[in-house]
Chains A and B, each alone.
Chain A
Amino acid sequence: MRLRILKDRWIRITFRTLLLLTLSLVVLIGIGLFIKSLPLLKDQNIFLILTGSTWSPLKGQFGFLPFITGTVSVTLIALIIAAPLCILSSIYLVEYASDILKKTVLPLINVLAAIPPVLYGVWGILFVVPLISNYIGPAFGNNSSGYSILSGGIVLAVMIFPIMISIMVEVLQTIPPDLKAASLSLGATRWETIQKVILKKVRPGIIAAIVLATSRAFGETIAVLMVCGNIPQIPKSLFDAGYPIPALIANNFGEMMSIPHYDAALMFAALLLLAIIFLFNLISRLILNKLEEKA
């Protein structure tokens, strides 16, 4: 009798310690990155770093604007492609599709989620890049190499399909059937019901899904790096090469450490990513929490 209670107490303490240690990782990583990027932050004004457009570490110029615009434009392109497609198809899956169709498509989406980034990159190089340099680029009178923010955006869009769809389907399933029945019985067509009742009801959930997918897109490294061209410039058109923040870290970390402030700058890049992801997750969690409380 005593023994099992004693055992339980020890297990409780061990488990709790494990939990707290793991949770403190978030804080530790944040502090670690901050300390590591301090040399740069002390030396230069943070606003100048964020808005500077010249990246030449040898001259001590660390303008992050090209990378920020690179990340933002690639992510935006991905969202513009993925969001409408995912909203439409998850509505179809929940409202129209038969059970058999649902049971075939949802596992396929899971496969898409399981495909590693590097395979997306290979696909991007084999399919998306040639598609843009041979067909889409020339159609717009642009002789792009294909390694562009548009390629990055397309690859990224496919990568965020699964996370968007799985959250949207979940949110759509929380709609009470009574609500739909009421609207349908008033003579609305199904599409009108979707437009005027369902979409209004799930708007916060859809926003949460998009926000979460955005934070995933921000951090994606290898697949985007492989198709984006990686030139530190501010992209002026869809067919220009860009250089997202994660690619900057992956390409340069561990090299040229002798250049002053170089590793501090890369750590600052990582800190920037962490901050953005923290913020976006917080927003989507708050929205989803509110939805769960209502449901």
Chain B
Amino acid sequence: MSTIKSRLRREKIAKILMQLAGIGITGSLFLIIGIILFKGLPYLTWDMISQTPQGGFYIGKEGGILNAILGSFYLAGLSTILACIIGLPIAIYLNVYIAQSSSLARVSKLLFDILFGIPSIVYGAIAFSIMIALGIRASLLGGVITITLLTIPIVVRTLDELLKTIPLDLKNTTTSLGATPWQTAQILLKYIKPGIFTALLLAFGRAIGDVAGVLLTTGFSDNLPLYLDEPAATLPLAIFFQLSSPIPEVQGRAYASALILTFIILIIVICTHILASRQKKHRL
């Protein structure tokens, strides 16, 4: 047995190592945001947010990325709504209608984990080949369908975790009063209301940031997205394309676009955080 001194020294070293690891991990977040802010801010102008690409935008002339910002919001908004329409009933079914120990519940859990883990590029590739088979060209609609598939598992998983936090008593009380499962579900939904918005925001955040899924299915367009059956620009893709340009001015705009996306994501995260703390209070 080593002396108490060396044991305490080891304790100290381990603690310092752990602190360094923690600082490294949280530091990486500030490094990412800091660098994007530093590089993007000089190029961020009002024109960037308020205009569509004009002639010669991609060689560094005037214009903005309003088309991509709007496209991303449409795409993420529509897919989030669709994912909620499909995901909410599934989460309710899994928690109210069937027993947690049933094999269907277990299999569902695994399969949703897998759906959650399927990379968006695979969703994109599948959707793309289906679209080719049906003769549909890359369009906002194609993107919405792909991203909806991508976000359903997020909605289901978040709501599932939320519904699990509800005390069993509440469920049992309503059932013993003679409520049908659907009536029970309605009461539970009231209970987790702020949490539903959290799930929606999480899905929205993932949807607005995805590139691989929209790369093949949504295409790109310099026009404002007006119709579902036309290609639409998306913000992450705009960043990706502008970044691959050799012209410094265009690259700078990519950084500014990245900064805009960072702002959007930060706003979403802050809203999620506020809603989550409200859910805690809501819980009584």
Chain A residues in contact with chain B, CB under 8 A? 4-5, 7-8, 11-12, 14-16, 18-19, 22-23, 25-26, 29, 32-33, 36, 84-86, 88-89, 91-93, 96, 105, 107-112, 114-123, 125-127, 158, 161, 165, 189-192, 194, 212, 215-216, 218-222, 226, 246, 249-250, 253-254, 263, 266-267, 270, 273-274, 277-278, 280-282, 285
Contacts and interface: CB of A to CB of B under 8 A. Distances in A.
A219 B212 CA distance: 10
Contacts of B180: 4-5, 7-8
A15 B121 contact: no
B81 to A, nearest CB: 15
A277 B211 contact: no
B1 to A, nearest CB: 10
A214 B86 CA distance: 29
Contact of A117 (B31, B182, B183, B209): B209
B136 interface: no
A108 B126 CA distance: 34
Contact of A18 (B86, B121, B125, B239): B86
A4 B184 CA distance: 12
Contacts of B114: 26, 277-278, 281-282
A18 B258 CA distance: 37
A278 B119 CA distance: 11
Contacts of B115: 22, 25-26
A57 B3 CA distance: 66
User: Which of A11, A91, A263 has most chain B Cβ within 10 Å?
Assistant: A11
A191 B10 contact: yes
Contact of B29 (A7, A11, A112, A278): A112
Interface stretch (B57-65, B91-99, B187-195): B91-99
Nearest to B106: A289
Interface of B: 7-8, 10-11, 14-15, 17-19, 21-22, 24-26, 28-29, 31-32, 35-36, 39, 86, 89-90, 92-94, 97, 107-115, 117-126, 128-130, 149, 152, 156, 180-183, 202, 205-206, 208-212, 215-216, 236, 239-240, 243, 254-255, 258, 261-262, 265-266, 268-269, 272-273
Contact of B35 (A4, A127, A165): A127
Contacts of B273: 107, 110
Nearest to B149: A25
A116 B261 contact: yes
A215 B240 CA distance: 24
B256 to A, nearest CB: 11
- Which of B92, B240, B268 counts the most chain A CB atoms within 10 A? B240
B31 A127 contact: yes
A91 B19 CA distance: 10
The 5 closest A-B pairs by CB, nearest first: A116-B209, A219-B119, A92-B18, A8-B180, A88-B21
Contacts of A194: 14
A125 B32 CA distance: 11
B50 to A, nearest CB: 22
A109 B32 CA distance: 13
B236 A118 contact: yes
Contact of B21 (A84, A127, A270): A84
Contacts of B10: 189, 191
Contact of A118 (B92, B125, B209): B209
B22 A253 contact: no
B239 A216 contact: no
